[in-house]
Amino acid sequence: MKVFLSVDMEGISGIVDNTYINPDAGVNYQRGRQFMTEDANAVIEAAIEAGATEILVADSHNTMNNILWESLHPKAKLLAGSPRNYSMVHGLDASFDAALFIGYHTRQGVPGVLSHTMSGVIRNLYINGRVVGEFGFNAAYAGVYQVPVVMVSGDDLVAEEAKELIPGIATAVVKKAVSRTAAICLSREEATAELKKQTKLALSNVKQIAPFQTAVPMEMAVQFCHAGQAEMAAIVPGSRYETETGTVYYTAHDQHDLYMTMRAMLNLAAGADFF
């Protein structure tokens, strides 16, 4: 069994605010890296016990150089660094039997721990008219490959978001959101036990979890926070800018086109944030 782990940071056990996730200014960042590595190891250990023979871990936060390589379980391979064409799911293809999204968070506008969607410039992101966050966007990428996303870990609200999109998905809830920067956290021991329990449950049910299905071609709609961002994103060839809603539309012919176009729009839109 071949397993793909996309590991973000905001939903990791014990992490509640930006001090844990900011590589440049976070006073708790080194602790956050340790917590992230420990969550990944708990999932890897359980996956091996459940029969996984090959595991690729994609560090999926910020510059994607957060997981402590020297402390990662020796049976897993680590994909680290950026840029990557497909960002959080780079390396995932049809050869994998399952994907697990670890340390994920809710989409922009939902009061989950450290909620956002890809970047601070996005207000809402849609695929074929359905609003998605990072979980849904990455699940759609996996779905085109027919790879099921069988588990998510994070707070209680990302668990709800995931279950709305993928019925039957296993959810390892390691904290309960109190606000965007506060949570009731399980102890390290309880969080590890929950991650292992849900990983084994998820991998025992791989055949029962359907990949997240989206029709191809896919219409992506990105609603930006202000007009300048949308105007910059609309430079992408083939896009359409709706000024009334601040939304830029693009029709992607496959998951690769979808992901790379989204990244290009974000990079362009970020350039409009100079005032």
Question: Residue 95: how many CB atoms within 10 A of its CB?
Answer: 10
The alpha carbon of 124 is separated from its chain's Cα centroid by a whole number of angstroms, namely: 15
| CA–CA gap between residue 109 and residue 88 (Å, rounded) | 21
User: Order of strands across the sheet with 240-242?
Assistant: 130-132, 122-127, 218-224, 247-252, 240-242
Q: Of all helices (H) and strands (E), which one includes residue 159? A: helix 156-165
Where b means 16+ CB within 10 Å and e means fewer, 133-166 reads bbbbbbbbbbbbbebbbbbbbbbbbbbebbeebb
The continuous run of DSSP H or E covering 168 comes out as none
State how far the Cα of 201 lies from the Cα of 193, in Å rounded to an integer. Answer: 12
- Which of 73, 105, 116, 253 is an active site residue? 116
Is 116 annotated in the active site?
A: yes
Alpha carbons within 13 angstroms on the beta-carbon side of residue 115 total 24
**Spatial separation of the C-alpha atoms in residues 222 and 106, rounded to whole Å:** 17
Under 8 Å between Cβ of 231 and 241:
yes
The single-letter code of the amino acid at 231 is E
Cβ neighbours of 230 (radius 10 Å):
26
> CA–CA separation, 133 vs 159, rounded Å?
12
Torsion of CA 247, 252, 256, 261, to 10 degrees: -30
Active site residues: 116
